[in-house]
């Protein structure tokens, strides 16, 4: 990218930007023609220049979904850096009625990168206004919940669980899931499927939370994830890719490192060691 354009974007100088366009009228076309590249909008987002970003999106809406060589669109960068209003503005400019999020490197959405970086306010915004994004998975079949556990982001994890509780408690049909889930789809089953989804190594979020000693996450899963009938929606006996269930994983830790409370809870709700039975 032209060094002058980089400087103008980082400064958020609209007058200098138009002066440069007057001098180099095709400069934006050159950027648009490159498949994977960083655009002036990427730079404006990174520099936290919302007014300048709006100016660019008015001229080149195509830049909003442009993926750079790192696999990020400007929306991904805004989500990753916790800029809620920037995320809102870019998504609204993209398509006011669009309820799906764009995907970048490893099929990650802005929700995924917000979860990974622990930007809780962005997570809250996205699951509220783009609720179907909670169902999106990466190329490793990771949900946003998987990523929250793997990156030890408790705040984001609890926000996602709360969203699932709201889905369970909502009345009427699920229209928010669009084509993925028909309006007559069982909300309880949808939540259960998400909570028990396995990544490419066969791990559910419960497997991972125990593996990574995330006690508060485990407690939240076992104590709050129930359907309207009070039935636990987390399958505590499902096996991962190594044929271990949640209790097996816990029992692999030395006795002094095990969480006795979690072990007691697992056994109380019906967890049984698969490895000791086979």
Phi, psi of 277 (to 5 degrees): -95, -10
> Which residue would you say has higher pLDDT here, 272 or 105?
105
Give one word for 82, left, alpha or beta, with left for phi > 0 and alpha for psi -120 to 50: left
pLDDT at 170: 65
Residues with Cβ < 8 Å from 93, sequence gap 6 or more? 54, 57, 61, 64
Residues with Cβ < 8 Å from 270, sequence gap 6 or more? 236, 237
Q: How many whole angstroms separate alpha carbon 256 and alpha carbon 213?
A: 13
pLDDT mean over 75-92: 96
CA 183 centroid distance within chain? 23
Q: Which residues pair with residue 226 across a beta bridge?
A: 232
Percent of the chain with pLDDT over 90: 62
pLDDT mean over 58-85: 95
Which among 234, 241, 236 has a CA at the least distance from the CA of 200?
Answer: 241
> Which residue would you say has higher pLDDT here, 179 or 66?
66
pLDDT at 173: 39
pLDDT in tens, 124-148: 999 998 888 999 999 999 999 999 9
* Averaged pLDDT of the chain: 87
* Angle of the 154-169 helix axis to the 120-129 helix axis, nearest 10: 20
pLDDT at 228: 61
pLDDT of 112 strictly over 70: yes
Asked whether the beta carbons of 124 and 114 are under 8 A apart, the reply is no
pLDDT mean over 9-29: 91
pLDDT in tens, 153-212: 999 999 999 988 887 776 433 444 443 444 445 667 788 889 999 999 999 999 999 999
DSSP per position, the chain = --HHHHHHHHHT-HHHHHHHHHHSTTHHHHHHTSSS---HHHHHHHTT-HHHHHHHHHH-GGGGG---TTS--HHHHHHHTT-HHHHHHHHHHH-TT--S----GGG--HHHHHHHTT-HHHHHHHHHHSGGGGG---TT---HHHHHHHTT-HHHHHHHHHHHHHHHH--S---TTTTTS-TT--HHHHHHHHHT---TTS--HHHHHHHTT-HHHHHHHHHH-B-TTS-B-S-TT---TTS--HHHHHHTS-GGGS-HHHHHHHHHTT---STTT-
Structural domains in the chain, sorted by start: 145-278 (1.25.40.20)
């Amino acid at each position: 990218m032209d060094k002058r354009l980089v400087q103008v974007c980082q400064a958020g100088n609209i007058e200098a930007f138009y002066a440069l366009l007057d001098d180099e009228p095709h400069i934006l076309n050159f950027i648009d023609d490159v498949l994977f590249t960083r655009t002036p909008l990427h730079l404006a987002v990174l520099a936290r220049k919302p007014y300048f970003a709006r100016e660019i999106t008015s001229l080149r809406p195509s830049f909003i979904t442009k993926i750079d060589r790192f696999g990020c669109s400007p929306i991904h960068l805004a989500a990753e850096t916790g800029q809620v209003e920037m995320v809102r503005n870019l998504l609204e400019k993209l398509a006011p009625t669009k309820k799906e999020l764009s995907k970048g490197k490893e099929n990650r959405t802005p929700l995924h990168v917000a979860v990974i970086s622990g930007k809780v306010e962005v997570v809250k915004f996205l699951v509220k206004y783009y609720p179907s994004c909670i169902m999106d998975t990466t190329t490793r079949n990771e949900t946003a919940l998987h990523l929250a556990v793997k990156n030890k982001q408790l705040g984001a994890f609890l926000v996602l669980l709360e969203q699932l509780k709201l889905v369970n408690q909502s009345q009427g049909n699920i229209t928010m899931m669009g084509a993925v889930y028909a309006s007559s789809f069982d909300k309880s089953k949808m939540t259960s499927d998400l909570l028990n989804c396995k990544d490419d190594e066969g791990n559910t979020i419960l497997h991972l939370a125990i593996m990574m000693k995330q006690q508060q996450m485990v407690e939240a899963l076992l104590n709050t994830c129930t359907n309207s009938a009070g039935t636990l929606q987390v399958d505590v006996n499902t096996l991962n890719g190594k044929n271990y269930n949640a209790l097996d994983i816990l029992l692999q830790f030395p006795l002094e490192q095990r969480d006795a409370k979690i072990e007691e809870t697992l056994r109380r709700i019906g967890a049984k060691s698969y490895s000791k039975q086979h």
